[in-house]
Amino acid sequence: MTNGGTVLNTVPAATILGGAFGVSMTGQSGSVNNSGKITSASGVGVSLAAGGHVSNTGTASYISGVIGVRISGGVGTVVNDGIIIGTGFYPQAAVVLSNGGAVTNSSSASLISGAQFGVISRGAGTLLNRGMITSTSGVGAWFTSGGAVATVTNYGTILGPTNQGLYLQSGGTLTNATGGTISGRNIGAHVLNTYGTGTTITNAGT
């Protein structure tokens, strides 16, 4: 779709399968509401090239690709109730927000899983996690933002089994609530103040 728009894949048994893209929108902001399955065999499951919103709704919802969801060209928001998978290595991830935005992993059964990164945000970003965000060989969630801070609230699990669970390059606000776990092989949460932005950490979990 070359002028943005809306895709509704709202029947749990419905499937969208593509080669380079499962769903691709350019030109204007786009919206995708998925309750079924969207898969790219060799590229991006859902690509919004002018910002927009992706809702992966319901426990049967599934999005996958080398990159599961990529939103560029504007601020993006992702709300995940189901599963988002990314099989590629850096700069790929399960969820990539090239201009920042917000990711909500909304229930205890929600999974965002990447080969090297679960979530990458390259602008001011907000992450609310109630499920699992993980990578198989890297960082669970990485915010690299050139001075724009991140806000992370975790009630679930953020896991980097071979690296850091969470990496905030420019500081921000991190709240690990009761029952929350942020875990990495060497460092659970790695927070830098590269741009002197400051950091607030509140921990009631692990």
CA dihedral 71, 19, 67, 62 (to 10 degrees): 90
Residues in the chain: 206
DSSP states along 8-58: EE-STT-EEEESSEEEEE-SS-EEEEESSEEEESSSEEEEEBTBEEEEE-S
Name the token pair of 88: 């590629």
Q: Which two tokens stand for residue 173?
A: 């606000």
The helix (H) or strand (E) run that includes residue 174 is strand 172-176
Mean pLDDT (the chain) is 93
| C-alpha atoms less than 13 angstroms from C-alpha of 193 in its C-beta half-sphere | 8
Residue 191: its pLDDT value, please?
Answer: 78
How far is Cα 147 from Cα 85, in angstroms, rounded to an integer? 28
Element (H, E) at 67: strand 67-71
Q: What is the pLDDT of residue 195?
A: 57
42-46, 72-76, 89-93, 98-102: range with lowest mean pLDDT: 89-93
pLDDT digits (tens, 9 = 90+) for 14-30: 999 999 999 999 999 99
pTM of the model: 0.95
pLDDT at 39 over 80: yes
> From CA 92, how far away is CA 201, in angstroms rounded?
28
Amino acid 107: pLDDT = 95
